[in-house]
Chain A
Amino acid sequence: MALPTHIRLEFVTPERAIAHDEVDELQLPGEEGAFGVLPGHAPLLAALRTGEMWYRKGGDVHYAFIDGGFAEVLPDRVSIMAQVAERAEDIDLQRAEAAKLRAENRLSRPTAADADAERTRIAMLRAIARLSVAQRSRQRHHH
């Protein structure tokens, strides 16, 4: 069987479809570490953690933020079912900056209960991932 040359990407959240495209390559934030997918990948079902993903179509690389979910990988097709996801250009930078600052402040005063600390830590991870996705995409536009 000839290897497929492209990957059909279906990227959805419960709220809406994020992307629907033919791509050459992509990378996902797996629960056990980031992994890349090229056409012809072995069938895989992976849980995703909070982090960044990107996909490349020709010379264009698109970045997006993912907050948990899972992905189904087939040789010619990838379905991403994320809990929450945002394309780099849709990220609200100010909100993410504010969230990061808030989390930092709370972490620097470790008076809160453990459960709160854990939630703050997760909020921090989200904010950092959002900012990093947004920055990567902006760097690209400056070139």
Chain B
Amino acid sequence: MPSLIDMRRRIRAVKSTQQITKAMKMVAASKLRRAQERVIATRPFAGQARQVLASIASRVDPAAHPLLARRAGTETGATLLIAISADRGLCGSFNTNVIKTVGSVLRENTERPISLGLVGRKSRDFLGRRGVPVRFDYVNLPKVITYAEAEAIANPAVSDFIEGKVDSVHLIYNEFKSVIAQKVVVEQLLPFVPEPVAEGQGPRTAEYLFEPSPERILDVLLQRLVVAQVLRALLESNAAFFAAQMTAMDAATRNSREMMDSLTLYMNKLRQAAITREIIEVVSGSQVS
């Protein structure tokens, strides 16, 4: 039977763990707020770029552009999967979910040549050892994710696609649904799928002058949009990470409170038992004398 001192020590240990998980929860909550703001900040660019794309579409055939072209192998040919996880853990099933989804995509497409782009230390460490060719990995994402990181990830994908090494590119990442819900999504990056322009924001009918040429503008626009889509995925994943971490740390804090309660109850029982025993000893001792 553990002694009272042992019990006190255990309660203290649980309490200090709880202080850590509580602090991590607070930190994750404040980082989540900033991460959410950054996701929202990417929306004006995407919205405007889509409108311009729609207006160009009336002048040049966008299907002719290599980044938009669907090929015979789009559904069945070689594909590059870019898996975005976090560099760190302590975030519930955040990383596991991405890794599991990649695993099931691999199992369902055994006939397709698949290569992997691994973003984040967790996906590199787990998926890098599966025997599937790794095209690139990217770990140690900075605290503030910028266009430069998105470009570094998008560039190898774009060049592989244009050179015909792969027929499609997909992103797999945690989408930020809400603070309590993150959902792993598989999203096609290339060939690029222009999102439909929202209702009431149809292509403007103006006759544009193009400088230098419609083709050049379309080219610049599409390249930016592809990088912007990668950037959004990185930022979504980042926000989802903090949400997952916050939820996990909140649960851990609650669990340690429960554990402390039950340990305290057990300790009190022990103390009660010890006191009772002592009283019995005193009483029976006095009767003897």
Contacts and interface: CB of A to CB of B under 8 A. Distances in A.
Interface of A: 10, 12-17, 30-32, 42-47, 68-70, 72, 74, 79, 81, 83-84
Contact of B217 (A10, A12, A47): A47
A15 B204 contact: no
Interface in B214-229: 214, 216-217, 220-221, 224, 227-228
B231 A14 contact: yes
A42 B209 contact: yes
20 contacts: A10-B48, A12-B45, A14-B45, A14-B46, A14-B228, A15-B146, A15-B147, A32-B212, A42-B209, A43-B204, A44-B210, A45-B52, A45-B55, A45-B208, A46-B217, A47-B211, A70-B221, A72-B55, A81-B48, A83-B227
B61 interface: no
A69 B222 CA distance: 11
B150 A14 contact: yes
A30 B231 CA distance: 25
Contacts of A74: 204, 206
Contact of A79 (B42, B48, B214): B48
Contact of B52 (A15, A30, A31, A72): A72
A14 B52 contact: no
Interface majority SS (helix, strand, loop, mixed), chain B:
helix
Residue of A14, A44, A79 with highest tally of chain B CB at under 10 A: A14
Contacts of B220: 47, 68-70
A87 to B, nearest CB: 15
A83 B52 CA distance: 15
Contact of A14 (B42, B212, B214): B42
B159 to A, nearest CB: 14
Contacts of B231: 14-15
B41 interface: yes
